[in-house]
Amino acid sequence: NTVWTCPNRPSFPTYEAEFPQWVIGYTYFGGISTWHNPLGHFPSFSPVKVSQSNPDWCLASDMLMRVDGRWGGVPGVSRDTAYKDCPQHCLPGSKVPVGGNEVFIDGSARWVQFNQMRYITTWSTAGDRVGFFFQDDLGALEPQRNNKALLPSTYP
């Protein structure tokens, strides 16, 4: 495989003609100017322009996402072309993630425990796409870091 993709998601990369996009199995945060979550809409601290980004802003992460109310979605219903084998890193017999890899705009990468992550942003605030990642700097969202609506424990 010559495309950067997670080895724990062996069916990727895949092309989705419907959207026209290549799905590589990661969540990409570059170019997001506003974060959306159950608490509202916040100016993002995601990389939009490299020259204006802090080095520790998350650029991409393993896909830790509840889709259609379930971790990894509903097979055959929730677009297997995007959500199959998600989340990548779980305890045996469970779909709840233990953590995930993240890459930052400075090029560094690290493992983050799931309980440190937060529901920072989504493209669908209806609750059908609930994704998690970690970032030190949450900007205007920082005072809400420990709000129950953003905590992983709220989404078993």
**Predicted pLDDT at 106:** 97
HSE of 129, CA atoms in CB hemisphere, 13 A? 12
pTM for the full predicted model:
0.90
Confidence check: pLDDT of 8 > 90: no
**Which of 35-44, 68-77, 83-92 is modeled with the greatest confidence?**
35-44
Q: What is the pLDDT of residue 1?
A: 57
- Average pLDDT of 92-115? 96
What is the layout of strands, in order, in the sheet containing 70-71? 70-71, 65-67, 129-131
Average pLDDT over residues 69-97: 86
Encode the chain in three state secondary structure.
Answer: CCCCCCCCCCCCCEEECCCCEEECCEEECCCCCEEEECCEEEECCCCCCHHHCCCCCEEEEECCEEECCEECCCCCCCCHHHHCCCCCCECCCCCCECEEEEEECCCCEEEEEHHHCECCCCCCCCCCEEECECCCCCHHHHHHCCCHHHCHHHCC
**Mean pLDDT across the chain:** 92
* Sequence spans of domains, the chain: 25-154
Model confidence pLDDT, tens digit, residues 105-124: 999 999 999 999 999 999 88
Section 65-70 average pLDDT: 90
